[in-house]
Structure 1
């Protein structure tokens, strides 16, 4: 039997003389040996160390398939002289050291014989000096966490790197963190292997390195390395009852397994210490199962962990304390009160409970499947009859394949090691380019490697397999501006990109350098190129709705004034000068909506095109393709593009009349509203639950806007009104004692001074601050008569608007529901503060989800009589509600999350918001929305309007909403009236 006798040299010499046994285990004959993924991973790793020792290799092995023993087997099979193991936690460090010192499992299966001595292992737990590091020379294996090595001075870390021959990183999905990267960088000249079950990071940062072996989770299941997974769902939409229902089901499963003689334990998963303490109060009544609470602040935590390992507690309430580095096979039941939202963490978590042990049963998971707010890739886990064994396999496959696709894109640039160096820098270029027409025969990408300029040297260069993309990095030295000497210089690293879009014979050039550098690069890689500039460049502005020119540069034909730059509010004269020919466009930067989404576009007469964004090279290439389609479309006439540009007009003497709609600033997108709150009088109001009322004109210089909010406890409150005072050259908001909680807490009125509310006028103009924005073609648009539909209301009490919890059908909303009920599969009553619409009606057809938003308003009763007519006041509020709801476009699952939240919060009050259908349909729609098109339609229901008597003023207000919704979303509206 091998022992621990000997020094470093003795151990290493025994490994060099040892013949590692690569025998595969045979379950049929009970012959011990390596598992299939272990054997394959060892072969892949050893081959990689021979063929590409300077390239980081990544081995993907699901939790429970023998990853740790594979790493240890590599020490002897590869005869690694001195290895640093980097692990993410103290628990994993302790676990690895214990396994490494005995090689117990490898010896039991016959992979390592008595000839090989156990390694001398040193675990690092504190800062070391260079002298201390030198003492580590007696170790064959050194184990450390990045947190420990972070305390090393740079010279000590370099000494450790020099001492070690190899670096092996466990749980490599942590590797992009700053502390890990410092170690990785110090070892960049040493062979490095990374092991992980999930080769992707939830912060979207890449894991550097090539995936040299991937053992799919499907194979692990088929090969019997994972026990089957049972999912036991509960469905409880009342949040006050959900935890109790989950606990009852989980304890029932535990007692059933114990009765069968299975020594199983139940883990209760909470997202925070506070939640864990709340849940422990629910579970502690099961005294015979000895529940225990454990988290980082619990006293005697180490003693409790020991008791857990000794199985003294059958129920363990924790906050991710039993994840990476904690191996307890008896943990077979999990009560998931707070789901992980990350596929990576979920897969790790599940893997801990699915290890194979003949003495134990199958893993069981319990969770509430009502209203799950999770990544759509994980949504399939929480369906009624979900097969978790299948789902986690598919999710793992999808996520890992995505990383492999990224790697495949990178590997298109595989002509040499330069590509790896470039992508290792994680390039995130500004999205910009200059385009050229280049014949296919004149595109010469291979010439880029001849790049050579004085004081600028080529460092990295690569062309992809398709020969349509070049990535290049150079190093340039230039004199410093403040000294007349060549002793010191500035060093700049320049990125060059070229993409050739063969379909349009168009070449796109990007460089982080200057014009001369771009020209030199172009002349290297293309012959007889023709720059696309002038008017075709401005075709990129095509199809931008509600376009605002943020800055405009003009070329002028005057001797005393050749160029002028216009920013912000002085756009009106600029547009007219362009249109009448007294000035020529030099450059334009604009914002607006394209296909219902916010976008930015920049273009110049010289040919530069850009977007206010930085992104990956893959995105830059896709952007080039989109731009190519526009600039090569001769049917787009740039002279027509500016006709719909928003003009800006300063408001001076008085506020415009006819302002009917107020909404939060453009800086607050709908996805941010749920993260923003208002604070008033000791209560917190989520911005989504705030309703801004109809704008009131106090006097010529003062506007006021009522504010109604629903607090977290479900009670409605009237907040102080928001008032806006107009001054000669400015404006001032007032909303005393109300604070906004965003990235920080500040007075709401100060926030609105810098980010003014958006106000909409009946003429179609948009007011922000003391400026009025409009397009000449968009003013005074009236609703097309064809969009009006008259209903016979019969004896319906149209002076009553809402059906409320009682489902009163003798109301405008109730009659509307009765009228449309048969047309939809799902109808939701969203009436109340913070509503999306009074009725949300949904139907499906093939791959499309149709969502119709019904905005209902009552007809006022005067002197006991209700008379539909032509009163313009009857359309202001409902048009504002319809205009406000357009921002829910493109929010996908957030839209359905909002409905589900409101459904759940209303349940304790006895208000059942789902009028047709059930919550399961809502969940299914939320899951489908990622791969189904969502088509919105907006319906205004106002019986106070008489179709026969409708006035021009009413049509103007309705036309404003129609125009606004059409421009932002591309959707039509319908207006329902009385005859």
Structure 2
């Protein structure tokens, strides 16, 4: 009958339309005309109120037309008993209004039945007001009788828990005692609207009595501040929010998609991504590009050509922890957002998966080429802000102190521990902080990293998120924007952009994450090799100095990778696979995500696309660090580093060194550890008072004919010496590595008891102090030493001396 006889459906309070009952009515009458009326065309849960906005009656016009009356906020003192203060003020305001001839009544508003009962007693004992409490537990007949008493003037007002709101018409209800304010704008506007009606005689200004509260903000407005002018603020907030809804609807209609079935359950307007952004510099943008297969978005793609924004909703299957065979049965929807900022030529990517390889596939799906963002530019996201509180900061170790490459500080405000001395040793890594925007005075969180990522702890609607991206982009490209946090964070050095590779790179080492969570090389034989067991060294810098060739080797394999000044690694040989957690990716993709660290002889540090200049002048090498060994008198073949298996006739440097170490009675333990992933060729340990002194020996043969002549003789071995500082960074690190190497058949104990050695190294009765020893017969104590040769040895000595847990550096050379 209804479908045949109803032509027009009119719904008041239409913000309730998303409710199931209303939806069923509209669906059953979907062929008929629907007209919806509401003063608040938006919802806190972001569910869509379907329909076109065909008429907007602004609150300012309603005020001008006399339909929306005068309103006023009456603050009360927040000290003492707040509820009693409100009650007393409510009695005073109501009585004064009635004395002026106004026929006004009072509503006491609270948020729970329990509080309503408490307030009923409080008003009864401390005021002369005649009030009755009504809530959802009261019988309908009682509510009806109470309202009749109110109309007849037998009551001065009522105590309510979210009742007598929508649809209730009693314009004489002019005084509101707000003991528990609404937290949302929609509910606040609905509540105020009941008191601002003008369709009665002998009524005046509506008054809202509440505690002065500077902290309570609705839509970023301190509505309950004693200085608030409600007439202007409420009208402005209402019209601003309604206009935002109109603008939002227009914006979301610009998104066009093929498969909209996903929107039956969720609208684009309801999407609220967390603020996370991966940024690239790009040369072009194709809005019609397709998402890579790995995202599995199919036709669930929505494009906004006006805004250069693409939204994709992918499907992924995951394996629950309780499924033993790892079968992927859990269905998840994944949100992807691509936004091209035309004025900055920046591409912003939102992805639930933060792998660099996925980001790369996404950017190349919509752009023909890209460049990483330098961290020097990323730092600008902190510009135009003040009142910094830095919760989390990464410090890139410029000096390899204690063997650590990266330190993370976390706390309520970590900047206090970054003194000038720390600033000389460390450069700024990532940062996450709270600060206030100088223009809007809005407080927010913001973080950035060298991986061209920006994030905040905020969740925003899609349109607001795009606006956030645009604001971030404009900061990043602003060359005139100077960042000053006015905290000790400013002591940290900020990087420059790597233009070309310098030719004095001294050594390279793995990223700090590689040491803390070690991935494994996956060989074709099925063997897994820890990446940190592989030797890594610079092989060549290409002629244009825009790329560098790095060798990664193990006794089971050797490969080469190339790194460009854009921070991207590629394979020179056949690509190798690496297992990082559950994921298997290529070695070059892993290194792009976790770039190697390069050091130069003039103390500069390079990581990815960031270049950190050195801050000291090279020292003249101290020849007293050379211990002159008469290798020839000991019958040593100084051109032979170690004996091949089965060779007992030759006296290599290692075999002679072993005799020297075993003959020294100071050493309680002597360990031989030669091979890929070695700690050092030899390790000696002796006890001294309350400490264990551990010496690491790195051996290299002499290649040249003359002493102090071949720079290659010392370059690699000095790099190995510096990198070995890492084994002293944490007390348990060295014995743990020894156990690992020993179990693999590499670490051989030549002197002492193995278990006792581990116990001594782990004991809390003494601490560990290290010594780094380079064994290279080509280094002569008496021969002339060229400047370049001295530079390498001086840099090695300087780097090692800065490591607090290493006692000294020495060279076992020649007379």
TM-score normalised to the size of structure 1?
0.38
> Which protein is richer in helix relative to its size?
1
TM-score normalised to the size of structure 2?
0.45
Q: Which has the larger radius of gyration?
A: 2
